Amino acid sequence: MRAPIVVPIEVRNPGAYLAACGVVEIAGAFDSRSTSHWERRPVLLGTAQMDATACIIQTTIPEAELAAALFEALSCRNRWEAVTLDGRRAPLHEVGNDEPLTAVRVCVHLRERLEHFPIDYWYHLLGRADDAKLKDKLKEGKSVWKFWSGRMSVQKTLLGENRKPGLISSLSGPDGQPVQDFAGLLSVERQTGSSLNLDAAARRGALDRGIAANEAKRAEGDVAAVRPALELLAAIGLSAFFPPRRLGATRENGIHSTVGSDGQHLRYSAWATESPLALARLLARGQQVEGTTNLESMEARRVNAGGKIYRFDYSRGIGFVPPRLTKSKEEDDVGADTDAG
């Protein structure tokens, strides 16, 4: 019997929206008959109840069971594996911090089944498998989701480094108790040394702190509060719902550009029609499909969070517009390798 799961997020926060898409993706993998849609309704955000555009998932999987399975998978480093340049798969914690990766995957165990969900959005272009300069091209490749200078070490961002926890290790911290619903899972807040910068509510820049970055490091121990489960689910949702369009070793315009974003803006939609997973992916990108209704279309602007750190700000409603299929306009950032945070 199907029952609704309400994912209580603020749809104008692009990171929270993408996290809901990640939950939709995972629910659809385990329940092929599940559907999703968005509607305005009272939801509990933290301790406050307010009207919001919430994601509703109709599925046979009980909310407590799905939320617990996701918490267990996201917080356990042994559930994460890396995909290296030569296609080799290895446990993420056994891969060198500076080794370039084509993807990482998390293994979710639910109802005696195992499903893997990739995170691979950070590379804007990939070389061909037979390309002798594949490693160099991956290092040079830029993503419209590149929110920092230098090259990102996803290993450090997820697992942490030295005494600075990462997204996975912080979620599994000493007070990392299992959760029973998505309100609890998505609101879990931890101190980390780095993040993916997808959550608009996690404002890490000097302008948001009110003090310079060096002073913040001394005061905070070079860590900041983030919502690790939300960021990890957002990365899964981003990879599945807004993937880069790839063609060999080159980035092209038109149908081979990046879905939904031109590097400066992200356009996304909340669909009002109950839709299976494949249709939901199209509707999220603003595609018009006969017999479906769009509840809201939004555009989030990329903003500077201090120095060469960027994030998407809260979005604004824009009505219906065709999905973006334009070439990215990226900064030519150069410099030493740095973490995402």
**Has residue 158 been placed in a domain?**
yes
**Has residue 296 been placed in a domain?**
yes
**Has residue 324 been placed in a domain?**
no
Q: Domain count for the chain, please give it.
A: 1
Q: What is the 3-state secondary structure (H, E, C) of the chain?
A: CCEEEEECCCCCCHHHHHHHHHHHHHHHHHCCCCEEEEEEEEEEECCEEEEEEEEEEEECCCHHHHHHHHHHHHHCHHHEEEEECCCCEEEHHHCCCCCCEEEEEEEEEECCEEEEEEECCCCCCCCCCCCCCHHHHHHHCCCCCCCCCCCCCHHHHHHEECCEECHHHHHCCCCCCCCCCHHHHHHCCEEECCCCCCCCCCCCCHHHHCCCHHHHHHHHCCCEEECHHHHHHHHHHHHHHCCECCECCECCCHHHCECCECCCEEEEEEECCCECHHHHHHHHCCCCCCCCCEEEEEEEEEEECCCCCEEECCCEECCCCCCCCCCCCCCCCCCCCCCCC
**Has residue 339 been placed in a domain?**
no
Per-residue pLDDT of the chain (341 residues; tens, 9 = 90+): 788 999 988 889 999 999 999 999 999 999 999 999 999 888 766 667 778 789 999 999 999 999 999 999 999 999 999 988 778 899 999 988 877 777 899 999 998 999 999 988 655 444 444 455 555 554 444 455 555 545 567 888 888 887 788 899 888 765 556 678 998 899 888 888 777 888 888 765 544 444 444 444 444 445 568 899 999 999 999 889 987 655 433 343 443 345 677 667 888 999 999 999 999 999 999 888 999 999 989 998 888 766 667 778 888 877 544 454 434 433 333 333 334 33
Cβ-Cβ contacts under 8 Å for 38 (sequence gap 6 or more) = 11, 53, 54, 55, 56, 270, 271, 272, 295, 296
Q: What angle do CA 11, 15, 21 make, to 5 degrees?
A: 70
283-288 contacts, C-beta under 8 A, 24 or more apart = 284/21, 284/241, 284/242, 285/241, 285/242, 285/259, 285/260, 285/323, 286/260, 286/320, 286/321, 286/322, 286/323, 287/323, 288/320
Q: Is 254 left (phi over 0), alpha (psi -120 to 50) or beta?
A: left
**Has residue 40 been placed in a domain?**
yes
Q: Which domain holds residue 248?
A: 3-317
**Has residue 323 been placed in a domain?**
no
**Has residue 101 been placed in a domain?**
yes
- Provide the whole-model pTM: 0.81
> Residue 106's pLDDT is what?
97
**Has residue 322 been placed in a domain?**
no
> Residue 151's pLDDT is what?
53
